[in-house]
Amino acid sequence: MKEYVVDHVIDCSPERYWSLWLDPDWSERFLVDGLGYLDCTIDPVRREGDAQLRDMVVTPKVAIPKALRRAVGERLTYTERGRLEGGVWRYDVSMAAFSAFSGRGEVRLAALPDGRCTRTTRMSFSVKMPMLGKRIEATALDNAKVELDRGAAVINAWLSENT
């Protein structure tokens, strides 16, 4: 299993961040227009006690090494099932076309004195497949790192234009 933790400063309060992230229309624009995802379907948020839950199916635009295409296909469509509770977003990632893959993570926000916040993302991937599993995990992690960095820049650019 490969794990990654990264911090990004986001130019808004935690409350503003969560209100954007849980807005299906904003999230779709962020993923498709901002990050260039090929496809995105986001379910409406539903409540379960104090928690807010949201599922989405997305197809990011990622480069898949030729050696891995036989195992995972030409496109990496995945489902993310997320839950915001107590200020922490926890999610599981799965791929219907590639059941050997699983991922999970959490996002925590910490308010900064200047009205911004630090977003800490912890994620891990596991691929149960002889010989190729570790390589697929590493590729997934490399793609996730790039997407998290790009995502923080896109969010901050959007906030600067819309605040």
Q: CA 135, CA 129: separation in Å to the nearest integer?
A: 10
Reply yes or no on whether the pLDDT at 1 is more than 90.
no
Q: CA 29, CA 38: separation in Å to the nearest integer?
A: 12
| Fold for the domain defined by 2-161 | Alpha-D-Glucose-1,6-Bisphosphate; Chain A, domain 4 (3.30.530)
* C-alpha pair distances (Å), 135 with each of 28, 88, 138, 140, 147: 30, 30, 5, 9, 18
pLDDT, tens digit (0-9, with 9 covering 90-100), for 84-113: 999 999 999 987 667 888 889 999 999 999
Question: What is 132-143 written as a DSSP string?
Answer: THHHHHHHHHHH
Q: CA 31, CA 61: separation in Å to the nearest integer?
A: 10
Q: Which residue, among 121, 124, 123, 64, has the nearest Cα to 97 in the 3D structure?
A: 64
Q: What is the pLDDT of residue 161?
A: 96
Q: CA 101, CA 114: separation in Å to the nearest integer?
A: 40
Reply yes or no on whether the pLDDT at 80 is more than 70.
yes
Q: CA 50, CA 54: separation in Å to the nearest integer?
A: 14
pTM: 0.88
Q: CA 104, CA 91: separation in Å to the nearest integer?
A: 6
Reply yes or no on whether the pLDDT at 116 is more than 70.
yes
pLDDT, tens digit (0-9, with 9 covering 90-100), for 120-137: 999 998 888 787 778 778
Higher-scoring residue by pLDDT: 63, 94 = 94
36, 30 in Cβ contact below 8 A?
A: no
